[in-house]
Amino acid sequence: MCYGTVLWCKLCAEKKVDITSIYPDFKCGIMISDGGSMAKILICDDESGLRSVIKKYAEFEGYETAEAANGMKAVELHKKEQFDIIIMDVMMPVLDGFSAVKEIRKISDVPIIMLTARGEEYDKVLGFELGIDDYVVKPFSTKEIMLRVTAILKRSGKTAVNNHEHETFTKNGFFVDMTAFKIQIDGKQVDLAPKLYDLLFFLIRNKNIAVSREKILTDVWGYNNLEDDRTLDTHMKLLRKAMVPYAGLITTLRGHGYRFEG
């Protein structure tokens, strides 16, 4: 771990020094949470070696970290401390990752990235239905994990909407309030997983425009990895299922992407 880098990141975060005025080419990977401190990551995996690798890389990037060896410990830690994002393994003793996410979602909407050695679509669908934000299949690179962490935290930092004007969309019996995160279908309230809100709001804000798969992955997930575009397929399937009987508002453009009919 490069303690010098982290020190400079801390100084930047506390606004005690503008490091770029000293080293113009310096790249600080730190993300700042709403409270003005360094973003904190909870790393939950029963493999101590894997936790250690992610921890070192995250701290080198300027994040604070905490560790949990099983889902139960992760739930307990999250009840005691404030985390900005959680990296959660699926297969763990005591309490598995899916069960831990279910418990955490009862008290918090903190972003969660799931790790798994299995790439079955069923696992992904279950994870997204429980409300996870991203899914990474082992083996993976620590660089990939941190890129996804950074992308999610950047998006979460842009969710606040100023003023009191609500950004809404209505078509027939389909109503969306993007400011209040409320969706009604024929007068009934519908709740979505966090990432499905992001996807739906993106499509609505680009209504009547043909948007490519690459554009959606870049703007909604924060990265463009076409090898991982099954994540988009899974989310589209879940979103359309939640929108019934208005799923037809999303049109598939074969060979290109999608268009939201506004």
Helices (H), the chain: 3-13, 19-22, 48-60, 71-80, 97-104, 121-130, 142-156, 194-205, 213-216, 230-243
**Using an 8 Å Cβ cutoff, are 114 and 134 in contact?**
yes
- With 0.75 as the threshold, say if the pTM is over it: no
Output the pLDDT for position 241.
96
pLDDT band, very low/low/confident/very high, at 48 (cuts 50, 70, 90): very high
C-alpha to C-alpha distances, 22 to 19, 25, 30, nearest whole angstrom: 5, 9, 18
Phi–psi pair at 247, nearest 5 degrees:
-60, -25
Share of the chain above pLDDT 70, in %: 79
pLDDT band, very low/low/confident/very high, at 18 (cuts 50, 70, 90): very low
Question: What H or E segment, with its residue span, contains residue 175?
Answer: strand 174-177
Rounded Cα gap, residues 141 and 33, in angstroms: 25
Q: In the predicted model, is pLDDT for residue 12 greater than 50?
A: no
Angular region, 3: left φ>0, alpha ψ -120 to 50, beta rest: alpha
pLDDT of 225-242, one tens digit each?
Answer: 655 668 899 999 999 999
Q: In the predicted model, is pLDDT for residue 138 greater than 90?
A: no
Average pLDDT over residues 141-170: 73
pLDDT of 80-127, one tens digit each?
Answer: 998 999 999 999 999 999 999 999 999 998 999 999 877 677 788 888
